[in-house]
A and B are shown apart, each in its own frame.
Chain A
């Protein structure tokens, strides 16, 4: 048996005969505990060299600062001013994700149909994400980063599949939570963003939040008025149209109030709205609409934002997000609903035409092939292998 090693040796631990008798050993142990018990009420453990004292914090009120490296769930970044998203849908994160929870659809140019370096849809299943941070590490465009927000509990499971509107955060937000990380990434990010922007056009690649604002400044709010009428009409028939919408409405109203008190206009969901009150009402209605429509679509999009507003900023962010999701959902369902239908349409047409020319057998085969090819619908969470 070796007891001598190259650097160091093996030694037998001293079992030691008991030195204190008649319960004194126990008393000594209890003495240690008593000292800690006393310190737990009188002293606060402030630095790691201390070994006694109160080291817990009263959580929701009192919070420990998170280090820059802290990672919880991934978010997407967009430029504050232009609203251009940093993501170019290069699929690197989708490929490296160990549990395969990232699903990206690439944006296509509406005129040419060619792919554009921007994400049309970006879904992350937060419920299955394991916060490993590989996506943020692999992203060559610094577009996907790890959030510090960890209070994401929700009673609705479906709400944990987050879409692009829910994932988008302004760069300034990330800069604030992880300054050292952003300082490293900043130059690379903007350089690559400029290249990507050159190949984008219109509202492609603009974060939904900002896109809404841009649209709002250009177009008078015609559709939303129609929405409002529709909603008020429907309100009675579907009163229990769920918590989600009510929550969103409350958040939006709060946000409006916040904006009033803070005097910051960008927190208000509607820059063009004359009164904050009205903006809140609009947002609330839209949120309700969105909830209803998404319900019908089966896409859990207008589901409650899984953020529990912790401080002013978070509350405002949540409100903006709620309002934007609502807006986006209010306008987009038509497009979204068309998408799956649209895709197979030409295939069917083609098949029909082919059928007219060729034998019915051949047509069936073609249709089948085409159908298979279009099986992977853009929003569908297609299976892993």
Chain B
């Protein structure tokens, strides 16, 4: 029997594969990972405390910086939470615009996430550029509507900042024409490629029961075979009026996560199609008239109480737990960040795999450090 010695290696905090400033301490036995400890906090800016000294509307631009890939989804979650806390009605049209933005966000996030996953497997940059190209088109739409590509700050309590500009819809319809072929092509890149299959099948498996106990949500949980999607489980906004399916995986490995993300993009595409059809017939304004003036948003004093608003962000369950003491600033503002909680099983998922697989497994979780560290 050959005697081996365990070795600790440090990955990060500045490492191209860690998707940000994130450090991993891996204990390896030869090439095999024995233990893995993530180290956080390099990007910590105490977002929650920042919010406690800000008014509710001032928190909105800060949420953009949580998961900076999906600022629209973050805005959505805060808006849902505050509306629940203060009992604000959202007009139908505003809801459809919100859903449209949220689903476009999901498409662009998954396109980039899969691109980065393939990137992490060693297909350096080229497939990533395909994902980024589609993402770019969607970001252009965001810019058109909200004024910024990534830090959208588009949602307001009771609606959205402004209605879609007239040039938005034609552009969106054109984009929609090209998307299905993009999905197919993107799928082909990984699905049949032997190298990528070998790197992803059976790697980082998270069985169903384990996934539940690890509190993971989003595509990670669905890839493990649990059809838990907040859009279905506790429909918010107008998701109860839209037809879409929930793709789930059967094994829970990296390959399943990839397939689930591809399918989710297709489902989001379906939702966007329905929204495009219905948007012209929707009633109401882009914002609740009582809150159309930003002065009202600024002076918002939700009644004493707490509320937990959550949405299905592309990364998982994004929730805001707010406690109000009747003042214009939240007494407590907690972000349930999916990226952060999805990292909990990282050590377990990597155990027994090779060092090179750490990167792939981390890529398949799809984290954004802005949200992990907050």
Contacts and interface: CB of A to CB of B under 8 A. Distances in A.
A32 B191 CA distance: 13
A298 interface: no
Given A11-B248, A13-B263, A131-B148, A137 B175 contact: no
Contacts of B192: 18-20, 24-26, 28-29
B101 to A, nearest CB: 14
Rank and list the top 8 A-B pairs by shortest CB-CB distance, nearest first. A25-B192, A10-B227, A132-B61, A49-B177, A69-B147, A48-B175, A13-B259, A71-B147
A13 B189 contact: no
A36 B262 CA distance: 20
A335 interface: no
A137 to B, nearest CB: 5
Interface stretch (B237-245, B276-284, B346-354, B365-373): B237-245
Contact of A10 (B57, B193, B235, B248): B248
Interface in A125-146: 130-134, 137-138, 146
Contact of A11 (B58, B126, B240, B245): B245
30 contacts: A5-B232, A7-B240, A7-B243, A12-B225, A12-B249, A13-B247, A13-B259, A15-B259, A18-B194, A25-B191, A29-B189, A29-B192, A29-B196, A32-B189, A36-B126, A48-B140, A49-B176, A51-B130, A51-B178, A51-B182, A51-B185, A67-B144, A69-B144, A69-B146, A96-B58, A96-B294, A130-B65, A131-B151, A132-B61, A134-B153
DSSP class of B's interface residues: helix, strand, loop or mixed? Answer: helix
Contact of A26 (B65, B162, B193, B243): B193
A49 B147 contact: no
Contact of A98 (B62, B127, B136): B62
B185 A26 contact: no
B32 interface: no
B62 to A, nearest CB: 6
A138 B294 contact: yes
Nearest to A70: B147
Max chain B Cβ within 10 angstroms of own Cβ: one of A9, A11, A24, A132: A132
A130 B147 CA distance: 13
B193 A55 contact: no
B327 to A, nearest CB: 14
B175 A49 contact: yes
B74 to A, nearest CB: 13
A51 B147 CA distance: 24
A25 B195 CA distance: 9
Contacts of A67: 143-144, 147, 165, 167
A24 B294 CA distance: 59
Interface stretch (B22-30, B250-258, B314-322): B250-258
A13 B294 CA distance: 45
A133 B147 contact: yes
A47 interface: yes
Interface of B: 53-55, 57-62, 64-65, 126-127, 130, 133-134, 136-137, 140, 143-148, 151, 153, 161-162, 165, 167, 171, 174-178, 181-182, 185, 188-197, 225-227, 232, 235, 240-251, 255-256, 259-260, 262-263, 294-295, 298
B148 A71 contact: yes
Contacts of A133: 147-148, 153
A385 B151 contact: no
A32 B183 CA distance: 13
B61 A69 contact: no
A110 interface: no
A226 interface: no
Contacts of A2: 227
A342 interface: no
A48 to B, nearest CB: 4
Most buried by A among B58, B147, B226, B262: B147
A7 B244 contact: yes
B193 A29 contact: yes
Given A8-B244, A98-B61, A132-B61, A68 B136 contact: no
A137 B143 contact: no
Given A5-B232, A36-B130, A98 B58 contact: yes
A180 interface: yes
A62 interface: no
A53 B175 CA distance: 15
